[in-house]
Amino acid sequence: MNARLDRFNPSILTRIVALLAATLLLALGAMMLVAFRGPPPHARPMMLGEAAAVMQGGATPTGSWTITRYRSDPPPLIEQGQRDDRRAAAQIARLLGAPSADIRLFKEAPPARMPDAEMKLFPQPGPDRMMLHGAFLLARRTDAGWQVVQARQGANSSWYAITLSLMAGIFILLLLPAYWVARRITQPIRLLAEGAATERPERADPLPLKGPPEVRAVGAAYNQMRMRIADYLSERTAMLVAIAHDLRTPMTRLSFRLEQLPDGPGPRRRPMWRKCGRW
């Protein structure tokens, strides 16, 4: 296994680029999966038929719609930021079998109105395709007063759950290879630092040449430097031994000659003995 890994030994740059490319591809794949195959981030629009069913007390359509029902004696008034959609109200009245004057529908007003020339390019949908977005207020006049339904479109919690789950899965999936790549890069560098920090690096064992090509090149250069330092120290030791050996003979002769000197004044012999290393 290690032999196969040593054969396939990309550089540090290649490993980092491959890891970043894998991260981007997985992130883009997750985004595309959520965008095209996952649920929408918001609740789907409500069809007019579903709004009519809600007015009759039916179940809330599938999605994150918040429905509030209450009764009002005076007719509901339009609020700021809303508009009265008579066309959709008439369609709901037809579905409920009630007069159009008994149905009121207030929707969120669009942020800006298109010019008439541009409105012609986007024809209005037919009654069967009309949908309600955002928030709306639907009211129906009855004998007991106005029956009001307020609906607000919320966020889809499943979209957030799926998105967060995918991101967490990608993080866990990339954590192991990222740790493996970092370990393969830093372990030879740590060995190099430990080898350089020894007291006598020239006597230490050569560093194993493992890891990316850049780290292996640094390790080979360090081993060569260590061998050169060891050679320099060996040459210096041999030179000092040779110098000591060459000086030993004349010093011995000088000591013998001092032994043969006749006894004379003491102050003359003592300095010479000191030069010979006896005292």
* Together in a domain, 25 and 63: no
pLDDT given for residue 115 in this prediction: 55
The amino acid present at 181, given as its one-letter code, is V
What mean pLDDT comes out for the span 122-135?
Answer: 64
Are residues 84 and 138 located together in one domain of the fold?
yes
Q: Are 139 and 96 in contact (CB under 8 A)?
A: no
| Contacts (Cβ under 8 Å, ≥6 apart) of 57 | none
Rg, Å, the chain Cα set: 46
Q: Could you tell me if 136 and 189 lie in one domain?
A: no
Range of the domain at 114: 46-155
Rounded to whole angstroms, what are the CA distances from 115 to 111, 112, 124? 13, 10, 14
CA–chain centroid gap for 220, Å, is 34
Q: For residues 188 and 104, is the Cβ–Cβ distance under 8 A?
A: no
Judge if 86 and 123 occupy the same domain: yes
Average predicted confidence (pLDDT) for the chain: 76
The reported pTM is 0.45
Side chain identity at residue 206, one-letter code: P
Examine the domain organization and report whether 164 and 145 are in the same domain.
no
Of 155, 177, 211, the residue at which a domain comes to its end is 155
Cα–Cα distances (Å) from 91 to 37, 134, 154, 181, 233, in that order, read 33, 19, 25, 64, 101
Q: Half-sphere exposure (CA, 13 Å, Cβ side) for 14?
A: 7
Q: Are residues 165 and 28 in the same domain?
A: yes
Residues 275, 166 share a domain: yes
Q: Which of 157-171, 199-213, 243-257 has the lowest mean pLDDT?
A: 199-213
Looking from the CA of 76 toward its CB, the CA atoms found within 13 Å total 27
**C-alpha–C-alpha distance, residues 25 and 21, integer Å:** 6
181 in the same domain as 256:
yes
The 10s digit of each residue's pLDDT in 137-182 is 999 998 888 999 888 887 666 777 777 888 888 888 888 888 887 8
Domain match, 150 and 171 both: no
Domain boundary among 129, 155, 181: 155
Residues 68 and 117 in one domain: yes
**117 has pLDDT over 60:** no
Given a cut of 70, is residue 125 above it in pLDDT? Answer: no
On whether both 176 and 205 belong to a single domain, the answer is: yes
Confidence of residue 41 (pLDDT cuts 50, 70, 90): low
Closest CA to 22 of 177, 201, 251, 198: 177
Higher-pLDDT residue of 63 and 76 is: 76
User: For the chain, what is the domain count?
Assistant: 2
Q: Is 136 exposed, middle or buried (0-12, 13-18, 19+ CB in 10 A)?
A: buried
Identify whether residues 197 and 259 lie together within a single domain: yes
Q: Whole-angstrom Cα distance, residue 63 to residue 46?
A: 9
Domain boundary among 96, 121, 155: 155
Choose the weakest-confidence range: 107-111, 135-139, 170-174, 264-268.
264-268
On whether the CB atoms of residues 51 and 132 are closer than 8 A, the answer is yes
